[in-house]
A and B are shown apart, each in its own frame.
Chain A
Amino acid sequence: MIFWSIVPEDVVFNGWEDKLELQEISYMGKTLSVRSGMKGSASVERILSTDPKDFLRKEFNPGNKIPFLS
């Protein structure tokens, strides 16, 4: 990756080694890739869809919290 930013690299890449665990789940009929967080909730990382409309829905925006009861 060619990285071009005014922020120093050690600031940007701090915590680079932390493991990122992504889960694929089905939510509102769509497949999402989510990052599980505290208290059983999850936040959307990306949506796996080929329908452009899905990308304009706020429920599927990256970072949106999904209540999670397993």
Chain B
Amino acid sequence: MICDLKTYKWGAVNEVNPEPDDENGENNPNNDDTSKEDKSQNIKELGQSSVPDLISDLHIISVIGQVEGHLVMPNQNKTTKYEHIIPQLVAVEESKDIKGLIIILNTVGGDVEAGLAIAEMIASMAKPTVSLVLGGGHSIGVPIAVAAKHSFIAPTATMTIHPIRLTGLVVGVQQSFDYLERIQDRVIGFVTTHSRLSEKKFRDYMMNTGDMARDIGTVVEGKDAVKCGLIDEIGGLSDALAYIHKTIEAKGVEK
């Protein structure tokens, strides 16, 4: 660990316990200490002692919890931060070592503009991209899922399509309503241009009153999402990986 002592003294592990361990005349316990520390950190954070070492030419972005936008969410939320994801997408697109990107979604929605920003970034990438919806890809997760070149959904996963709502102070009713409608049109426009779903069908899903107990909208399950054209294929991890490897290979041959 490298420390920058100018501003703060950042603790490398061995600074906490500065006495060298020189039983055998060798005092090089740093590597051992660091790996021990890593291990206990892994157990604490991930519930397992070792994370497999892997060299891969793919990168994964997992969109989990809330998509966090202009405001920092309170602590109890798990969030996907767009200010970190967007430069990561730049790095993935720019890197020579990274050949493809997998986007894994299990999101409950969040900030519309942040979500659309991520979706547009993914859609405009030249490298092969594939998305896999597991568990749920709700609300603003829908445009992110369809933004990839090819999308997969697990058979048990669901996607909720429901109307966008306005939070906070409404100053002018008509203006606020018009603005909200335009935002909704932007989302619908994005989803329908990046999937096979028609605009009418998407609006029908959005305004459906018979499907959800506490809300209007539709919960689309894996198979139905493929049938209506929102998602390209039913599949899991192996399908997504097979697709992306095939696309990378095809791209290599073209060159």
Contacts and interface: CB of A to CB of B under 8 A. Distances in A.
Given A52-B94, A68-B10, A70-B8, A5 B2 contact: no
B84 A62 contact: yes
A2 B7 contact: no
Given A2-B180, A4-B110, A12 B73 contact: yes
Contacts of B108: 5-7
Task: Name which of B41, B83, B138 has the most chain A CB atoms within 10 A of its CB.
Answer: B83
Contacts of A7: 66, 108-109
Interface string A27-48: 1110000000000000001110
A3 B70 CA distance: 11
A66 B77 CA distance: 21
Interface of B: 1-2, 4, 6-11, 13, 15-16, 41, 59, 66, 69-77, 81, 83-84, 87-88, 90-92, 94-95, 108-113, 115, 136, 138-140, 160, 162, 164-168, 180, 183, 187, 215
B234 to A, nearest CB: 22
A1 B111 contact: yes
Interface residues of A, number: 37
Contacts of B1: 28
Contact of A5 (B75, B110, B166): B110
B74 A29 contact: no
B76 A14 contact: yes
Contact of A61 (B70, B84, B110): B84
Nearest to B9: A69
A35 to B, nearest CB: 9
A62 B38 CA distance: 18
Contacts of A67: 10-11, 13, 16
A20 to B, nearest CB: 6
